[in-house]
């Protein structure tokens, strides 16, 4: 089942990415010779019109082969050739792959929000002694309705608001035994660690949730808005993580490869469809973002070359592109070795496995 989950995940990510390139090429009038899911030897293939659709043996990628894409291609129909398209069309075709990965993630999150997710109610389960909440009079079973005029519907909303206001006196409206009460609580200033292990100052009042859940479903339009916001947050976090790695704030141990994806795909599938689809959306965004990095061979590298071409008013030499791509391949190969090394270490020491 692990293999099946991973194959489904990889297949979806690859299909969405290559579909973006494929549709953009078709819209731009470029002839598409091959559309393949996977690399290497052909397992099955079917010629439909001018395009051969393939399922190949190595399920770690895919490709769209366009007419006139390779240097050695003999060009007869310039109008259908990728190489002879205007720069804006070439950028559009290349950018469409990562864009579709992000749009695919928006779709997955939309399905999750419309289907409904379990959310913690803002109900107090326990109040720590000698904490600000205890001193102010909060009790087990109290439901938080509002803080400083902000409506509270989930435990996450409440916790986030308190954390963002350390040292401040907050006005709580609570429901207790069908009565509404108001309490002023000073959010205690505490030092904690953020996602990157950096020390940050947060507010805390000393409460724990009652572990009461409700299923929160969104209407289609609200779900779309939340899906776009969620994808933006993950894109921002992904780029920030890359920066933190170069700044050595985040260890390269976080880098993972196909083995890690296989393992987490299995675990999230066991936890249910929401966890699995969320993981698929996050990986899809990561694939889109990483592909846009300005590294030769990746989509971002191609876009960089096309932008330079637009500025120079002529394409870069085939020799320069070939050398740049060799450097890009070497870099990606080194990164792949590091990812596999980290994956193997996680197999040997399961405690290093990230929590899905």
Let me know if 192 is exposed, middle or buried by CB neighbors in 10 A (0-12, 13-18, 19+).
exposed
Give the whole-angstrom CA distance, residue 322 versus residue 310. Answer: 19
pLDDT for position 144? 95
pLDDT for position 278? 92
Give the whole-angstrom CA distance, residue 41 versus residue 186. Answer: 66
Q: What is the pLDDT along the chain (356 residues), one digit of tens a residue?
A: 666 777 778 788 888 999 999 999 999 999 999 999 888 888 998 999 999 999 888 776 788 999 988 767 677 788 899 988 999 999 999 999 999 999 999 999 999 999 999 999 999 999 999 999 999 999 999 999 999 999 999 999 999 999 999 999 999 999 999 899 999 999 999 988 877 778 889 999 999 999 899 999 999 999 999 999 999 999 999 998 888 888 888 788 878 877 777 778 778 877 888 988 999 999 999 999 999 999 988 999 999 999 999 999 888 888 888 899 899 999 988 988 988 888 888 777 766 666 55
- Cα-based distances in Å from 348 to 78, 110, 200: 54, 37, 32
pLDDT tens digits, one per residue of 115-158: 999 999 999 999 999 999 999 999 999 999 999 999 999 999 99
Give the whole-angstrom CA distance, residue 92 versus residue 84. Answer: 14
Q: Which CATH number fits domain 118-216: 2.30.42.10, 1.10.340.30, 3.40.390.10, 2.30.110.10?
A: 2.30.42.10
Q: Do 259 and 343 contact (CB within 8 A), yes or no? A: yes
Of 66, 60, 54, the residue nearest 30 (C-alpha): 66
Question: Looking at 18, 69, 218, 266, which residue is catalytic?
Answer: 18
Q: Do 145 and 121 contact (CB within 8 A), yes or no? A: no
pLDDT for position 195? 75
pLDDT tens digits, one per residue of 234-244: 999 999 888 88
Judge whether 74 counts as a catalytic residue: no
């Amino acid at each position: 089942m692990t293999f099946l989950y991973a194959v489904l995940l990889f297949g979806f990510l690859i299909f969405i990415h290559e579909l973006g390139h494929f549709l953009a090429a078709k819209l731009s009038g470029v002839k598409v010779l091959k559309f393949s899911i996977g690399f290497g030897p052909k397992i099955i293939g079917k010629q439909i019109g001018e395009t051969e659709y393939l399922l190949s043996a190595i399920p770690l990628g895919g490709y769209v082969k366009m007419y006139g894409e390779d240097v050695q291609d003999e060009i007869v129909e310039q109008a259908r050739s990728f190489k002879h398209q205007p720069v804006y069309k070439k950028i559009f075709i290349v950018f469409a792959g990562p864009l579709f990965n992000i749009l695919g993630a928006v779709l997955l999150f939309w399905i999750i929000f419309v289907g409904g997710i379990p959310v913690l109610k803002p109900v107090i389960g326990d109040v720590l002694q000698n904490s600000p909440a205890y001193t102010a009079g909060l009790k087990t079973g109290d439901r938080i309705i509002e803080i400083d005029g902000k409506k509270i519907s989930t435990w996450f909303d409440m916790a986030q608001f308190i954390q963002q206001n350390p040292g401040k006196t907050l006005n709580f409206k609570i429901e207790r035994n069908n009565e509404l009460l108001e309490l002023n609580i000073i959010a205690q200033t505490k030092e904690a660690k953020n996602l990157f292990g950096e020390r940050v100052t947060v507010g805390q009042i000393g409460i724990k949730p009652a572990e009461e859940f409700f299923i929160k479903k969104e209407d289609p339009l609200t779900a779309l808005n939340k899906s776009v916001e969620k994808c933006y947050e993950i894109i921002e976090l992904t780029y920030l993580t890359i920066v933190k790695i170069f700044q050595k704030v985040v260890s390269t141990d976080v880098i993972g490869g196909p083995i890690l994806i296989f393992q987490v795909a299995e675990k999230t599938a066991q936890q249910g469809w929401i966890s699995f689809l969320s993981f698929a959306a996050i990986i899809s965004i990561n694939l889109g973002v990483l592909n846009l990095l300005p590294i030769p061979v990746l989509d971002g590298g191609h876009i960089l070359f096309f932008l330079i071409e637009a500025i120079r008013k002529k394409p870069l030499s085939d020799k320069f592109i070939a050398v740049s791509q060799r450097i890009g391949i070497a870099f990606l190969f080194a990164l792949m070795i590091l990812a596999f090394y980290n994956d193997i270490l996680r197999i040997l020491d399961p405690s290093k496995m990230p929590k899905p």
